[in-house]
Structure 1
Amino acid sequence: MSETEMRKRARTARPTVETGKETRARLSWSAPAAGLWSVAFGLTGAYWALGGVGSPLGAGDPRAGQVGSLLASVEQGPAGAVMAALGLLGALVAVAMTRSAARGLSLVFAWTMCVGLIVAVPDVRVMQNFGYLFMGYTGLWDGPLLFMLFCIVGGALWAAAAWARRDGGDSGGGARTVRWGRPVTYLAAVLALPYGISRISWAMGIPLGVPDGFLAVGQQDAWMAEAVLGGLCVVGALLTLGLVQRWGEVFPRWIPFMGGRRVPVWLAVAPALCASAMLIQAGSRLFLWMVTGQITMTAEDWGSFGPGLSWLPWGLALVAATYAYYLRRRSAP
């Protein structure tokens, strides 16, 4: 191999360093976008506060109580008024962020909006319908679900705006990150397996964690759904391992057109964060149900809810693993 070819291959395979300034410049659109989203959010809330129809909150969400929605008992008028106020405040904060003003307060508001819109507003229906998409089923799509997705978009925009405004330049902690990034990545991959193993077992007719007659009652035609749900978890575990493997940074040679090229950081980070959000949304509701006694488990039926208790720690571990991957890619030579 000639020296020219070796240099070309090295440039293709080796991740480049992205500085903090480059990241902030690339996300300069985020604050204006978050501001525009806030205007739409506020106007929607004002419409509902004034008695407009179509609110997916409280009485407008018939399934809210069944799925552990934190907004099940809110009333349309007050909820709409809060949305209108947050929308107005969000628009003002977005303007301040574009003018380099009130850094501390703007970051607190941005991260608070991010957590509230991504974790507090959505519930288990987001992950439920994501799984159903792989089966071609959209029968549960409705106004409340669309509102949750709208809020998730807003939360992502506020997260991007906060990330672009944060202090700190280039990360010099690449070696430090590798030390804790690898074990937390393995932990995230392991936590993906309990739910997947239980569902795959059910698809194979093995009543793991459920009474012997459970699979015989209404489960005859459900093996495909169980196999898909279990398979998604196994695939998720494998993709998680990619965060610490070479093929997570450089596409394998056997992939057409992309083989040997550098994996864009966003291509790994964005899906992982989306998966983390869904897991945290659903997992936090399961823990809430356990604490409030809405669900109970026995030695005979632990498989119904027990494996799902890994969702919340899985989601949190995946966030940490994704962050470690991002820092390592930034600080790589």
Structure 2
Amino acid sequence: MEPIVRTWPRWAGYAAGAWSLVAVGLALYWAGGGDAGYPLDEGKSVAWLIAACLGVGGIMAVSSVRDVGRQMPRWWPLTGIWAACVLAGAGTFGFVMNALQLAFTGTVDDWPAFGVEVLCAAGAALLAGTALAYRRGTAGACARCGEAHAGTGAVKRPAPVSAAPPGVRRAAHAGMLAFVPYIVMKTTWAFGGSFAGIDGERVVAEFERNGASGLILTLEKYGLDFTTLSALLGIFLLLGLTREWGQVFPGWAPFSGRRVPRWLPLTPAWLGAVTLGPYGVVATFGYLLPPVIGLGDLPDDPLLHGWSGWTVAACGIGAFAVYGVALGVAAWSYQRRTRPRCVSPGSPGDGAPSGP
């Protein structure tokens, strides 16, 4: 019996349709005045649009695996599914930071909001897989790998191990360097020093005032800010996506010599890319740039104030913007380089690396 994970083109559309029922129900709850997990500051009228978009996406997802999907103009299902996918992807904003907070502290600030982010991440993955399978299937290609051959194909062996092309490695280096000011700032504060006119003691006091856990405060005491540790993990992920040891466990790691499951680096990579990248880019143009060109006000709160506060914000926002984009580039390259070989009796030779 073929493993269920290998038959994803046949069931992804149904799973995406079932997911949309839950998501539409949640959106209608918000439209009716519910507050739990609502991700927007705007009025609840937007929730009606969310429900409509996700509902259409779910209908098109199920249609894509039924005969009716092949009777429609091809762009109908693809537009509906991708629109819902983009909306679900936007709903994952904050997932990475909340997941890191959960890993370091055992809790998150807002459990309903985190639950919505998890739901959106699952939906985005299902919808993207559905759209991919439909696009390939209607183009006469194998829904699993995208190559033209008989049957649905079967994974024979993984792709050859290879490092990322030079351009991708340069993008990764830019993403890593972008975190240097952020790491310096956070480490300086953790050791009690001053950065941009803000003392480390004020930062720790702000942590305590916001109810930070004992673990976070203990790490700060020893000069280890948990966001700095998270940034270092992010750099490690970026390196793994571009180096050969990101495809085969190296000698210094557990499972030495075994292939790294593709989902292991790609899951956090895509989640980081779709959350940190858009946030950093939008915040750069909407928050950092206006004060510089005289079209906006400087930060004005107890901790972040004036140009010192702007500098602090720039260290974080700038890092997220560059790193998020670099992570997306590296993830796309890794996904293409590690495509398994899909072959069937009707395919020429041993096939070629194909499929995401």
TM-score for both structures, normalised by structure 2? 0.69
Q: Is the aligned partner of 1:265 residue 2:262?
A: yes
Counterpart amino acid of 1:304? V
- Is there any run of 5+ residues in structure 2 with no aligned partner, and where? 149-158, 209-216, 291-295, 300-304, 340-351
C-alpha distance in structure 2 between counterparts of 1:201 and 1:244, whole Å: 30
Deviation at 1:332, TM superposition (A): 6.2
Higher relative contact order (CA 8 A, sep 6+): 1
Distance in 2 between residues matched to 1:290 and 1:310, nearest whole Å: 13
Shift of 1:186: 2.4
Instruction: Please point out which of 13, 16, 27 is paired with 1:34.
Output: 16
Contact 2:175 2:324 in 1 (8 A): yes
1:295–1:28 Cα change, 3 Å: farther
Q: Report the CA distance shift for 1:202/1:134 in structure 2 as closer, same or farther (over 3 A).
A: farther
Deviation at 1:156, TM superposition (A): 2.3
Q: Which moved more, 1:87-96 or 1:276-285?
A: 276-285
Instruction: Give the distance between the partners of 2:64 and 2:121, measured in 1 at CA.
Output: 21
Q: Report the Cα offset of residue 284 of structure 1.
A: 4.4
Q: Does 1:276 align with 2:273?
A: yes
Amino acid at match of 1:241: L
Distance 1:237 1:254, change over 3 A: closer
CA deviations on 1:129-150 (whole Å, 9 max, x unpaired) are 2332233152512433322332
Please point out which of 55, 60, 83 is paired with 1:112. 83
- Please list every run of 5 or more consecutive structure 1 residues that lacks an aligned counterpart in the other structure: 1-22, 58-68
Aligned 1:158-173 pairs, distance under 5 A: 158-167=127-136, 169-170=146-147
% identical equivalent positions: 26
Q: Of the candidates 130, 149, 156, which is equivalent to residue 118 of structure 2?
A: 149
Residues 291 and 116 (structure 1), Cα distance of their counterparts in 2 relative to 1, 3 Å cut: farther
Instruction: For residue 249 of structure 1, report the CA deviation from its aligned partner.
Output: 1.2
Equivalence for 1:86: 53
The C-alpha deviation readout for 1:107-136, integer Å capped at 9, x for no partner, is 2222222222222x454x434423322331
**Amino acid of the residue matched to residue 219 of structure 2?**
M
Tell me how far apart the structure 1 counterparts of residues 279 and 84 of structure 2 sit (CA, whole Å).
19
1:163-204, Cα deviation, whole Å (9 max, x unpaired): 3333473599x9997243322232233334332232122212
* Shift in Å, 1:302: 4.5
Match of 1:322 in 2: 331
Count the aligned residue pairs. Answer: 290
Amino acid at match of 1:219: V
Distance 1:27 1:185, change over 3 A: farther
Alpha-carbon distance between aligned partners in 1 of 2:29 and 2:268, rounded to the nearest angstrom: 34
Alignment TM-score, normalising by the size of structure 1? 0.73
**Does the aligned pair in 2 maintain the 1:38–1:86 contact within 8 Å?**
no
Q: Does 1:224 align with 2:219?
A: yes
RMSD (Å) for aligned C-alpha atoms: 3.4
Is 1:214 the counterpart of 2:199? The answer is yes
1:103 is aligned to: 74
d(CA) in 2 for partners of 1:88 and 1:301? 42
Q: Which amino acid aligns with 2:327?
A: L
Aligned to 1:304: 312
Contact 1:41 1:83 in 2 (8 A): no
